[in-house]
């Protein structure tokens, strides 16, 4: 089975000044743009340091959330799929990433119905889980599962708990057999056969980690989760995420990887 995190490439997008108006569920304060841009730059530098060839697309001021490239497509060595974001303000982002994806992926498939965002798609070693959420509906997930099959990927459809933005807001891979999940996702039936490690109390926000090759990227303020990873012998790099967290984002959101 191919590794779900032995990436060689990533596609990111520089944040536009409008990113401070990015969507957030709780109506909290705007991020500071300078700080947000610094977090993004550090993220791109880290991916490069881990050995990935990273292309960074230009900012899109008309689309405040366009720096979160993960949500508009899925990318695999075998090809890519353009998605249909469920957030109306993000629909138009797809047209702005098409050419860049086509340049890397001669096999470029495209959804035509319903909605799905990449933050709802968790890639495992032997399958992909698509979480239904406020952004990903049944029609979109069903069509997406069919497109994934064309790329040789088996997909299962799961439920994201209420109040969790994306499926991967609440869970991520530590390694091929181990999931880090918030307590509300502990009994997700699609995790059967995997070890589920829960985020420590008060550190639910840590769940959106990003495994890249041998290293886990994790928010820098989740000290109990750092200790847990250290105890398990998992190499990790703490990353500043305070500003992107103000617009409901974590570490997987800022790149497409393959
Ligand atoms: C949004 O609500 O769409 C953005 N403010 C955050 C997107 C985060 N993306 C992700 O979790 N994959």
pLDDT at 29: 96
For residue 188, the model assigns a pLDDT of 97
pLDDT in tens, 219-258: 999 999 999 999 999 999 999 999 999 999 999 999 999 9
Mean residue pLDDT of the chain comes to 97
Give residue 85 CA to ligand 1 midpoint distance, Å.
10
Q: What percent of the chain has pLDDT over 70?
A: 100
Whether pTM > 0.75 for this model: the answer is yes
Tens-place pLDDT, residues 161-183? 999 999 999 999 999 999 999 99
Among 154, 127, 143, smallest CA distance to 81 is for 143
Q: Which atom of ligand 1 is nearest to the CA of 87?
A: 3
CA angle 102, 104, 110 (to 5 degrees): 40
Atom 2 (ligand 1) nearest CA? 23
CA distance 153 to 176: 16
Ligand 1 pocket mutation, candidates 10, 249, 250, 252, criterion most atoms within 8 A of CB: 249
Q: How far is the CA of 142 from the centre of ligand 1 (A)?
A: 21
> Could you tell me how far CA 109 lies from the centroid of its own chain?
19
| Domains of the chain, earliest start first | 9-257 (3.75.10.10)
Name the residue at shortest CA distance from atom 8 of ligand 1.
249
Whether 250 contacts 231, CB under 8 Å: no
Q: In testing the pocket of ligand 1, which one of 253, 254, 255, 256 has its CB within 8 Å of the most ligand atoms?
A: 253
Q: Is the pLDDT of residue 1 over 80?
A: no
- pLDDT tens for 85-113 read 999 999 999 999 999 999 999 999 999 99
Residue with tokens 């960074």: 56
The alpha carbon of 231 and the centre of ligand 1 are apart by a number of angstroms equal to 30
Measuring from each residue's beta carbon to the nearest atom of ligand 1, which residues come in under 6 Å? 22-23, 65, 68, 70-71, 87, 90, 118-119, 166, 169, 247-250, 252-253
Q: What are the tens digits of pLDDT across the range 35-53?
A: 999 999 999 999 999 999 9
pLDDT in tens, 173-210: 999 999 999 999 999 999 999 999 999 999 999 999 99
Query: Average pLDDT of 16-26?
Result: 97
CA of 97 to the centre of ligand 1 (A): 16
113: number of Cβ within 10 Å: 12
Predicted pLDDT at 2: 72
Q: Does position 211 have pLDDT exceeding 80, yes or no? A: yes
Taking 80 as the threshold, does the pLDDT of residue 139 lie above it? yes
């Amino acid at each position: 089975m191919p590794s779900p995190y032995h990436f060689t490439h990533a596609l990111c997008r520089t944040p536009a000044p409008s990113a401070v108006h990015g969507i957030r569920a709780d109506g909290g304060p705007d991020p500071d743009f300078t700080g947000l841009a610094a977090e993004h730059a550090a993220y791109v530098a880290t991916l490069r340091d881990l050995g990935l060839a990273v292309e960074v697309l230009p900012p899109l001021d008309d689309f405040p959330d366009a720096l979160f490239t993960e949500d508009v497509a899925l990318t695999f060595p075998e090809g890519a799929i353009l998605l249909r974001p469920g957030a109306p303000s993000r629909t138009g982002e797809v047209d702005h990433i098409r050419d860049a994806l086509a340049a890397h992926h001669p096999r470029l498939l495209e959804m035509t119905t319903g909605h799905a965002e990449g933050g709802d798609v968790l890639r495992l070693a032997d399958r992909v889980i698509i979480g239904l959420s406020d952004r990903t509906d049944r029609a979109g997930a069903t069509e997406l599962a069919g497109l994934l099959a064309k790329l040789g990927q088996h997909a299962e459809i799961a439920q994201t708990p209420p109040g969790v933005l994306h499926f991967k807001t609440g869970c991520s891979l530590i390694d091929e057999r181990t999931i880090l999940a918030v307590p509300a996702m502990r009994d997700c039936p699609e995790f059967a056969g995997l070890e589920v490690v829960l985020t420590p109390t008060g550190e639910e926000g840590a769940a959106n980690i990003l495994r890249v090759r041998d290293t886990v990227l994790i928010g820098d303020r989740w000290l109990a989760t750092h200790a847990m990873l250290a105890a398990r012998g998992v190499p990790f790099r703490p990353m500043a995420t305070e500003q992107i967290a103000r617009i409901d984002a974590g570490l997987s959101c800022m790149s497409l990887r393959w």
